[in-house]
Structure 1
Amino acid sequence: MTMNNVTAKLRQKNIKNYYLLLLCTILSVMLVTSFALIYFSKTVQTILPEGGDSRKQASMIFVIAIVGCCVFTTYASSLFFKYKSREFGIFMALGEKKKHLKKVLLKELSVVISAASAVGLVLSVPLSYFIWKIFQIFIVDTHEMQYQFSPLGFCYGMGFCIFVTLCIFISGVKFIKRSNIIEIITDSRKSEVVKDVKSWTGIAGWIIFFSGIFLGYMVPHIAVRKFNYRLPSIWNVTFLLSFVGIYKIMLYTVVHSKKGRNSKKYYRNIISSNMMRFAGKQTVRNMCVIAFLIAGALFAAFYTPTAVTGMFSDLKARSIDNVFFYRQDETQISKEEIYSLAHENNVKITDYFEAETISLIIDGVRRDYVGNKLIEEHCEKLKYSNFMSEESFNKISGEEVVVQNGQYLTVVSKEYTEGFWKKSNDLSLVTHPVTDITENLAFVDVVRFSSLSFDGTNIYVISNEDYERLYQGLTEDKKHKFVLFNVENPEETYFFTKKLRDEIINRSSENVAIVSSYDLYKKQMCEEEGEKYWLDDYNVELSVDNSQLFMDWKYYPMFKVVNSQDLIKNLAVFLMLFIYIAIICFAAVAIIAYTRSVTIAIDNKALFMNLKKLGANNKYIERSVKKQLAKIFIYPTIVGSTAIYLFFGMIMFANGGSNISSSEYMALSINFAIILIACAFMYSVYRIALRRVKVMIGIH
């Protein structure tokens, strides 16, 4: 019988080991590539803002998913090598040369990994299409939610295949290079024992973990706010303390056992505790990976409630049902036409206001970094802002503010908090854009009125006399008209407000197809210096079918009913992307945890049989198994979810100017509910793994 015949017989007998490596590689490649196909598609890349937080978050979590899947695949390969060690050791004992065994192993790996990579790459396309379509059918289907195949995403998938293949081949070469035959033969029974750790290791782990998060995120925030200094990027290595803390926590969980006062409990669990210790290193590594992937999955899942609650809170804070504004050089829908459209749709308008604002050039503080030092530079002419007369503001708001000549009030939303980059009292000078006359204005206070809040539009209230004087000589493009009105039974006016919104969009010209932060004064300065204004590259598609207008367009109407009911539709691509990331991470977590559970059964099956022979009943053995599996599932879930929940809370605290708003409290509550759902998911995987392990060790 030739060597090929022998290896073929062994391969046939141990086919399950090949299936394990094949399946794990297919799943890893399929998950990573399917996400890459979606993430790098034209649909998603067009909607995700370049350099925006959402794109950075998606990229960061994608890296976590790649690392998790890579670790998962290399772990599966280590199990494969462990099972192969006995037969290769015997071959070496019989005189077979390493050189030939190396060729046999690499040939088998080439066939398995190539087949798995090909299958994973092929299946990733229908998988990504299927998930996209499921989201369209059951969540939302919009004009932008069109599936588009991404060749770049496929390239990332192939790159992942190459990287994983190299990792597995390197591990295979290291495996075959061992010179000690006895070591190779006994590798399948070799344990990765971890010595006992001190009782303070767990507490130290939590302290190191929290210190890493605080030093990595809060200290840079404090340095900027208190000392106007940005810490160098090397400071981000302090986040690694959190990883060290997680490792310490997992190590303590797996290894530590002490008799303590309750010696009966100690001896009852001594078998399960020491079984975990004998495979301690491998178990701790798996638990750390599970914790990181759970953190990444939850971070992605937290995006949806945070975005939705913030926008719903903003709409709820608006006291006027429908508000829109436009430049007066535009031919927009009139009051009579609005009333006529309302009559056609059986809608009764109860309050109707129109108010003018004027655009003046204001001064301000330009804040930027020079090196790591924050520099604040005062500019006498910075940008355009809108000004409203005291009389107009009181009419539409119901307030009775009084503004003296030479003073101003800053209009802010109800949940406004003073930011670091933008302050309500920066304004001190205004310049008439036609006469170029500059005047002083003094800040008095802020006035909270959310209905005038539009992204990229600042409103200041000045005295009637100042307004009338500054109004003189302005061109129509420097004047805006705000239209505000309430309706009876606003919840029943969706179709009316939708038709009105569509009419406003259709009547708007390309001159106002600009993003929220577009400023005509900055454009003018760029043209005078012979440069191109960078926001000219951002084209806004003025179409009623463009659901992304609510994020992009400067003059998008704020209609409470239509905006709230269309919110999920408008955020469709964002929601799908982050939900899909969460699905990938949780899928990897389930597979890693389940595989580790099965490995425990395989490695300790003989021990469980010996316990039976010594008189242990099935109930005792089952309790020992549960103790081990519980550590694999419970502690990574607790640590991963706690870490990301705390980190998310810090982000909200820092972004809100050391304050958490009511909408953010609501988002944190929903996020906590998501954590409970994740715990339920992990428990279901635990029950499935437990059932399988019981069958494998014969106590089902």
Structure 2
Amino acid sequence: MTLNEIAKKLIRQNKGRYLILSLSICFAILMTGAYGVLLFSPAITDVLMTDGSTYLIALGMYGITVLGIVVFLFYANSIFMKFQMGEIGIFLSLGMPPKAVTKMHNKQFDLVFAFSGVIGVVLSIPFAFAVWSFLTLFLSYTDHTFTIGWQGIFIAILIWISAWGILRLKNTISLSKADVIKILHSSSENEEVKGAKPILGLLGLFAIPMGVILFNITAVIDGLKTISMLFLVISLIGGYLLTAQITTIGTLVKRFFPKAYRKNILFYNLVRQKGNQYTLSLFVSSLLIALTVFSICFNGSSFLELHYQVKEDPYDYAVLTTGEQQKDLDESTIRLMAEEHNISTSDWHSLDMLLIGREHQYQEKEKNEWGPEFVISQSSFEDLTGQTLSLPENGFGYFEDSDNATFQTFSNEQGNFYNPSVHKEFHLTKTSLISEENIVNNSTQISYFLILNDKTFQELKNSLGPDYQFRYYLFNGDHPENSKAFQDELLGKIVTLNNGEIFDSYQEAAVQDKISGYSDVIIPYAGNELYAARQWDFYPYAKATQLDILLESGSVYLLLIFFIAIIAFVSASMIMCLKIAGTILQDQESYQRAVYLGLKERDLKKMIRKQIALIYFFPTFCGSITAIFMINRFMAVSSVTHISAITVLAVLLSVVVVIIQIIAFGVLQRRMTAVATKAVYEKNY
């Protein structure tokens, strides 16, 4: 039999390992490419805007996951190489030169990597399209046009070629140093892990929460914000140190429970033998599980906040109309439309609102800037809130719903304002600043405004043209099940009155003389429904449908986050499965010797299940607990108010992850245990 025939026979016998490597490469490139196709797609960037914080977060998550996928590829390659060492040892023992063995191996490796990478790249576009199509089945506002982000394909190809070259070089160097004797004893070598000492394990256990807590403290202190991320690195180091102690678990059990140690001595020693392998795979898997839970909860927190925000809005409906539209859509018309949908209105407020310019004043005057501002009268505000104000004719009050950020722009007592109709500035003195929740609907576009004395308000109104005069209706109504039909009729009426167009820059028109680069932005409503639902002030608000609209407007972001979470979770599971397969294969000789010395089949299966459980559940529990703690601490330094609800969400999501892993473990351990015991007894008998 020639060497070529031997090589082909070995490939046929061990085709499973080539299939595992091929699937790993295909998965890594497919997921990287598919996510990139969506992330850089105009359908996504037009909604999230590439300079927005949500898009930057999505990019950061992409970078972390790509790093995890690269680690996964390196781990899959290391497992493949350990499998291959048996074949390599055969060829070396037959007298084949190391260079020839390396050349033959590289030829096989190149074929697998090239084929798998091409499949991954080719399938990434249809896979991304399938994900996009599935999402848009449940959405009515989202643009259904799928576009390809070619940058994502380029990144996937770059990662594929780079990983191919680096792994090929790494394997070539390893094979050039291959030694037959070392290969024969590779399965029984001990891999002592640096840092595998109980005292360092305690230090790691302490460092994980302490790093997050210190991040929590420094992230809100101006002088320390720049170093806050360093404390997360401390948590990561603590996680590694804690993971490394898995290999020394037998030492602790031996010291405190000698009887239990003697009963499971083979299990503890097998764990110790594979020290570095356990530490790396379990640590990376733990990080990916933590990323799965954390990414969904952290990025989903804003949508949970929106849920509470909409729920706490004081009015069921809010409608903004222009002065010109009052002839066709006034209070009586809206009430009549509501009655036609069997909705009885109550708590009705009609607010006359004016639009003017205001100079935002800062401590450094060169940073001052002009912006539009709505104005209401003192009597309207008192009727809305039940409060009593005392505003002089030359004074103003300012209201904002539970947000003090804008208050910081009133650094001076005197405010500078601008009348866009007569093109003149005027000045008023700051009298009061009011911050109070549940006065107006905070989830609508109008949640802050100026308050003027009634006389001053009327004088200003008389001098303003109709383009800068509006009426804002706030009211409640019963029968929320009819809200959608009522809202749709209102929307249709408003769109018709606006000639089917959205005047997107109508607020900026009030300060067009004060800002450079102003231009009218008029777009058709048709084809821009999603944008209108998100940004158009004249889009009628209905509490019963508002959360759906907000979720749909953020659906592309949710798509990216869930997609990245799935990639992280599947990557973690595949790393664990590869580790399980590698462990059982490497421990075959130990199993055989144990059976030869009298270990019963039942006890062998029990020990194998323990090995699988250790690999499968340590990352699951460690990653989930870490994610819960981190999400709680991260929310504490954010503007999120419902921290407990988000923490509960993290706990529930972790429970779901654990249940999935338990189900997967039940299937996997039964299959792997049967395969391992069958191989052992076939060789022994």
Structure 1: give runs of 5+ residues left out of the alignment: 367-374
Aligned equivalents of 1:689 and 1:627: distance in 2? 12
Give the Å deviation of 1:11: 1.8
Which residue in the other structure is 1:105 paired with?
Answer: 105
Give the Å deviation of 1:162: 0.9
Q: Secondary structure at the match of 1:593?
A: helix
Distance change (3 Å), C-alpha of 1:195 and 1:338: closer
1:605 is aligned, of 588, 598, 606, to 588
Which residue in the other structure is 1:446 paired with?
Answer: 435
Note the 1:321-400 alignment, pairs <5 A: 321-328=316-323, 333-366=329-362, 382-397=370-385, 399-400=386-387
Aligned equivalents of 2:520 and 2:247: distance in 1? 56
Q: Secondary structure at the match of 1:289?
A: helix
Distance change (3 Å), C-alpha of 1:328 and 1:601: same
Note the 1:210-249 alignment, pairs <5 A: 210-216=209-215, 218-219=217-218, 221-224=219-222, 229=223, 231-232=225-226, 236-249=229-242
Distance change (3 Å), C-alpha of 1:195 and 1:382: closer
Deviations 1:475-498 (A, max 9, x none): 333333212222232333320122
Does 1:12 pair with 2:8? Answer: no
1:661 is aligned, of 635, 641, 645, to 641
1:430 is aligned, of 399, 415, 420, to 415
Contact 1:358 1:478 in 2 (8 A): yes
Aligned equivalents of 1:231 and 1:563: distance in 2? 36
Which residue in the other structure is 1:499 paired with?
Answer: 489
Aligned residue identity for 1:333: L
Aligned equivalents of 1:483 and 1:323: distance in 2? 5
Does 1:483 pair with 2:466? Answer: no
Which residue in the other structure is 1:85 paired with?
Answer: 85
Which residue in the other structure is 2:683 paired with?
Answer: none
Which residue in the other structure is 2:290 paired with?
Answer: 295
Aligned residue identity for 2:73: T
Contact 1:389 1:461 in 2 (8 A): yes
Aligned residue identity for 1:390: Q
Aligned equivalents of 1:169 and 1:612: distance in 2? 39
Does 1:251 pair with 2:234? Answer: no
Note the 1:530-569 alignment, pairs <5 A: 532=517, 542-543=525-526, 546-569=529-552
Task: Report the TM-score, using the length of structure 2 for normalisation.
Answer: 0.88
Does 1:271 pair with 2:266? Answer: yes
2:399 is aligned, of 382, 395, 411, to 411
Aligned residue identity for 1:255: T
Which residue in the other structure is 2:652 paired with?
Answer: 673
Give the Å deviation of 1:448: 3.1
Q: Secondary structure at the match of 2:621?
A: helix
The CA RMSD measured in Å over matched residues stands at 3.2
Which residue in the other structure is 1:698 paired with?
Answer: 677
Aligned residue identity for 1:177: S
Aligned equivalents of 1:445 and 1:569: distance in 2? 33
Deviations 1:41-92 (A, max 9, x none): 2211221122223212222222222222222222121122222223323433
Contact 1:330 1:509 in 2 (8 A): no
Give the Å deviation of 1:309: 2.3
Contact 1:590 1:685 in 2 (8 A): no
Contact 1:506 1:542 in 2 (8 A): no
Aligned residue identity for 1:449: N
Give the Å deviation of 1:270: 3.0
Q: Which moved more, 1:382-391 or 1:341-350?
A: 341-350
Percent of aligned pairs sharing the same letter? 18
Aligned residue identity for 1:213: V
Contact 2:357 2:417 in 1 (8 A): yes
Contact 1:389 1:464 in 2 (8 A): yes
Q: Secondary structure at the match of 1:96?
A: coil
Q: Which moved more, 1:592-601 or 1:634-643?
A: 634-643
Aligned equivalents of 2:114 and 2:195: distance in 1? 42
Give the Å deviation of 1:456: 6.8
Aligned equivalents of 1:6 and 1:72: distance in 2? 31
Deviations 1:360-402 (A, max 9, x none): 4444444xxxxxxxx85586764332222221122234x1332
Aligned residue identity for 1:151: W
Task: Report the TM-score, using the length of structure 1 for normalisation.
Answer: 0.87
Deviations 1:209-252 (A, max 9, x none): 23433444541x3322xxxx4754x7644432222111011112
Deviations 1:416-454 (A, max 9, x none): 2545x7648657333342342212112354333342534
Which residue in the other structure is 1:165 paired with?
Answer: 164
Aligned equivalents of 1:272 and 1:499: distance in 2? 70
